[in-house]
Amino acid sequence: MKVFPFEHKNRFENLEVALEHFKPQCAAFSPEQEEIPRSYFQELLEDENGALVQKGRSTRVKVWWKVSAF
């Protein structure tokens, strides 16, 4: 077993594209509901070479075993 950090980036052309990507996860379907993730992502997303980037980190575990016979 191996435990290791995993870093990833989601890149978006603009805030509207990011909102379309995340709206289902946020259950934001009305204009009123959409204001909460809009405000959040305006602060979270970073400008990187003209794109908006959401950086993420997690811990991953890789598990493997030997198979002796089938």
What residue type is 66 in one-letter code?
K
Residues near 38 by beta carbon (within 8 Å), at least 6 away in sequence: 15, 19
Please state the pTM of the whole predicted model: 0.70
Q: What does pLDDT average to over the chain?
A: 93
Say which residue, 29 or 11, is predicted with more confidence: 11
Number of domains in the chain: 1
- Is the pLDDT at 47 greater than 70? The verdict is yes
Residue 68 included in any domain: no
Residue 21 pLDDT grade (very low, low, confident, very high; cuts 50, 70, 90) = very high
Tell me the residue length of the chain: 70
Residue 39 included in any domain: yes
Residue 24 included in any domain: yes
Quote the pLDDT of residue 70. 67
Whether 29 contacts 23, CB under 8 Å: yes
| Residue ranges making up the domain that contains 27 | 2-62
